[in-house]
Amino acid sequence: MKWKKRRYGEETSYIPAGPFKIRLPFVHYRFEWPDYVQGLLMCAVDLGAITLLADHLGMPFDVALAVVILNGLLYLAHHLLGDPVIPGWITPAVPLLVLFVGQFPEGPDRVYALVAFQLTLGILSILLGMTGLASKVVRLVPNAIKSGIILGAGIGAVVSIFEVGGKFDLFPYTISICIGFAFYLLFSKSFGKLKMRNKVWVFIGNLGILPAILLAVFVAPIFGEAKWPDIQWGFSSPDFAALWSDYTVFGLGFPALTFFLSAIPAVFATYLVVFGDVLKTKALLSESDEVREDEKVDYNPNRAHLIFGGRNVIMSFIGPDITMCGPLWAAMQVVVVERFKNGKKAMNSFFGGAGSFRWGTNTGLFLLPVVSLVEPILGVALALTLLVQGYVSVRVGVMQAKSQRDLGIAGVVAAILVIKGAGMAFAAGILLCALLYGKDFFKGENDKTFTNHGEEEESKAS
């Protein structure tokens, strides 16, 4: 067990493999049972993707479960190859992809569009990872357009739930009660004070939206919006054969070039969101570095790009997924980082916590009692995920703007994005920035609207 031999301040042991650092459970890191058990429960969030795949691709439950399981297995690639993260969906960009594929009729054309999108996104990410150009590409996008894309993704997430025929129409009482509970746990000042008083509240808060999902298991049947779960024993039965014959290039053939060309604006918009997750990962790990000086945790954005880019390329062939393959599950990254900060006894290595969690979610996906427990309320689980993400995306999107003029442009870009898609939104953003900023197109302006607001808040607090 090489993990026991780590010296103070060094990285945990690994097998070098080019840009990757291979680490195996029990050999290079201690298996962390608390994180594994939490992963068993949190697989309920991963299962929310089944509803998206059923709604927009017409996938039967067992076929969609196969996609979720394949995606789950590829989550393991990150920590196994040296990327210290809890990977997840590209959640803020899900509405962008839904808008894009919705332009095509359900059936083979919609699958072709999804394959083209995910393959293009994967290739772009790999190229940027290999060349190290990721940050330079994002810097070329004016703040007003970045703000509009992220803002539009947030609004699109909320619209998708409340539009006619959306999930709110199916689960009005359940979603209202459970999203209120979720927002209280995640964003409430009063709950933040409770967490300072008792470790039980800290534990509940660290579970993210899982308590709200479990609450929905009881609330939905009480209000007659879903059946009581029929708990079944045994193992789940994903249908890989139907997946590969009806929803992949192996059965349908390769998409035409036109699908790839039409996907480019949506891919670029999605990449702006992805790059934000990369920056967020770096910031979270920097916080833990100050506390855990005994282990050096090496985060390399270029390596991360190669891994999540590769995941998207692979999934585009074997299981196209509307949730996509993202670099970070922010909520769970925070949970594992916070436990990592508690010291070496609590978590010997960050890779042990991240890896054990994802081994846990993968185990849960194969356990029929877990899958059957949440099956009746998967639509609610998806709605909660998108509404929470909508809240965060709107907040982050607004703060990307550096001036009132930026925010005005962003509002127009966001509205067009939700209604007409990424291509027209980018065109509108470019035109407005050219008209309003001229030679300062890339630079924009900073009128200190948000800076002054922050200074006022600080002065009030002091």
pLDDT digits (tens, 9 = 90+) for 291-341: 888 989 999 989 999 999 999 999 999 999 999 999 988 778 877 887 888
Closest CA relative to residue 95, chosen from 10, 157, 151, 25: 157
Mean pLDDT across 82-105: 89
Closest CA relative to residue 370, chosen from 30, 43, 9, 16: 43
Other CB atoms closer than 10 Å to residue 7's CB: what's the count?
8
Mean pLDDT across 432-445: 87
Sign of CA dihedral 249, 254, 257, 258: negative
Mean pLDDT across 178-204: 85
Structural contact between residues 398 and 383, judged by C-beta atoms closer than 8 angstroms: no
Q: What six digits make up the tokens of 133?
A: 């150009």
Q: What stretch of H or E contains 33? A: helix 33-46
Q: What pLDDT was estimated at residue 287?
A: 76
Spatial neighbors of 414 by CB under 8 A, at least 6 apart, are 148, 149, 151, 152, 155, 397, 425
Q: What six digits make up the tokens of 315?
A: 């999934």
Q: What pLDDT was estimated at residue 451?
A: 61
Identify the residue with better confidence: 456 or 37: 37
Percent pLDDT > 90 in the chain is 48
Cα–Cα dist 154/140, whole Å: 22
Q: Is the pLDDT score of 139 beyond 80?
A: no
292: left (phi over 0), alpha (psi -120 to 50) or beta: beta
Identify the residue with better confidence: 240 or 160: 240
Percent pLDDT > 70 in the chain is 96
Q: Is the pLDDT score of 245 beyond 60?
A: yes
Mean pLDDT across 200-211: 78
Structural contact between residues 335 and 208, judged by C-beta atoms closer than 8 angstroms: yes
Spatial neighbors of 431 by CB under 8 A, at least 6 apart, are none
Q: Is the pLDDT score of 399 beyond 90?
A: no
Q: What six digits make up the tokens of 134?
A: 């990721």
Structural contact between residues 397 and 148, judged by C-beta atoms closer than 8 angstroms: yes
Q: What pLDDT was estimated at residue 461?
A: 36
Q: Is the pLDDT score of 462 beyond 80?
A: no
Mean pLDDT across 338-356: 88
What amino acid is encoded at 68 in this protein? V
Q: Is the pLDDT score of 458 beyond 70?
A: no
Q: What six digits make up the tokens of 20?
A: 């990757």
Q: What pLDDT was estimated at residue 459?
A: 41
Residue holding tokens 């990410």? 125
Q: What pLDDT was estimated at residue 85?
A: 93
Mean pLDDT of the chain: 88
pLDDT band at 22 (very low <50, low <70, confident <90, very high): very high
pLDDT band at 169 (very low <50, low <70, confident <90, very high): very high
Q: What stretch of H or E contains 16? A: strand 15-17
Closest CA relative to residue 242, chosen from 374, 60, 71: 60
Structural contact between residues 280 and 329, judged by C-beta atoms closer than 8 angstroms: no
pLDDT band at 452 (very low <50, low <70, confident <90, very high): low
Closest CA relative to residue 400, chosen from 133, 92, 89, 87: 92
Closest CA relative to residue 56, chosen from 167, 199, 131, 180: 167
Mean pLDDT across 8-21: 92
Cα–Cα dist 347/180, whole Å: 33
Highest mean pLDDT among 106-115, 161-170, 183-192, 413-422: 106-115
